[in-house]
């Protein structure tokens, strides 16, 4: 059996979550260290460690894991599913846009900032909310079954945090619009600003 990959970062699991999501989609055992490097209580190595390279068979990317921009547009027009925007509320509403040419969100998307998956204060600060709390959160956003949900963010990284949170909550596995806002905003496709109602 393959050794599981335990990923961590110092950003609430935002970047490490993308790695975990990708490995799981490809069938590799992977988990996120809840709370990141700050939660680690064991000794830390200060030098880079290496392992000898090994042959790994190529695995085709599962077709149902990713959603294209055209599929998102179809989803909007048919109202077939829930589109979650994992970016901050300010970026979602179109008040600021630090990277892309246009500000706002994909029409019909619901704001689901990935940081809201984490406890904000107290002894659990920076750790995932409980599965029950996450389930309540996503149900309040309109997600009853993650198979109907597509998550996006700025570039397809922090959206994976929402995907992992839905899975942790027992809602199943959602899909990723990997091009995310960066791809959408570089086109003349419609955008929305303000808040969408669930």
Query: What is the rounded CA–CA span in Å between residue 74 and residue 69?
Result: 9
Q: Pull the structure tokens for residue 89.
A: 């509320």
Query: What is the rounded CA–CA span in Å between residue 131 and residue 170?
Result: 7
What are the Cα distances from residue 197, in Å, to 65, 95, 108, 162, 194? 26, 18, 9, 19, 10
User: Which residues belong to the active site?
Assistant: 153
């Amino acid at each position: 059996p393959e050794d599981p990959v335990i990923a961590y970062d110092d950003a609430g699991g935002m970047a490490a979550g993308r790695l975990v999501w990708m490995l799981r989609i490809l069938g590799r055992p992977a988990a996120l260290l809840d709370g990141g490097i700050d939660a680690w209580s064991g000794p830390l190595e200060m030098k880079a460690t290496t392992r000898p390279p090994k042959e790994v068979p190529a695995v085709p990317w599962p077709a149902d894991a990713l959603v294209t921009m055209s599929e998102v547009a179809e989803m909007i027009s048919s109202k077939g599913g829930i589109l979650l925007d994992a970016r901050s509320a300010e970026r979602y509403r179109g008040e600021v846009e630090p990277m892309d040419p246009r500000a706002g969100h994909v029409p019909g998307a619901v704001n689901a900032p990935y940081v809201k998956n984490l406890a904000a204060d107290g002894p659990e600060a920076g750790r995932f909310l409980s599965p029950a709390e996450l389930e309540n959160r996503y149900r309040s956003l309109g997600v009853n079954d993650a198979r109907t949900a597509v998550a996006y963010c700025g570039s397809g990284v922090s959206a994976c945090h929402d995907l992992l949170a839905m899975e942790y909550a027992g809602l199943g596995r959602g899909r990723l619009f990997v091009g995310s806002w960066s791809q959408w905003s570089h086109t003349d496709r419609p955008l929305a600003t303000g808040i969408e109602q669930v």
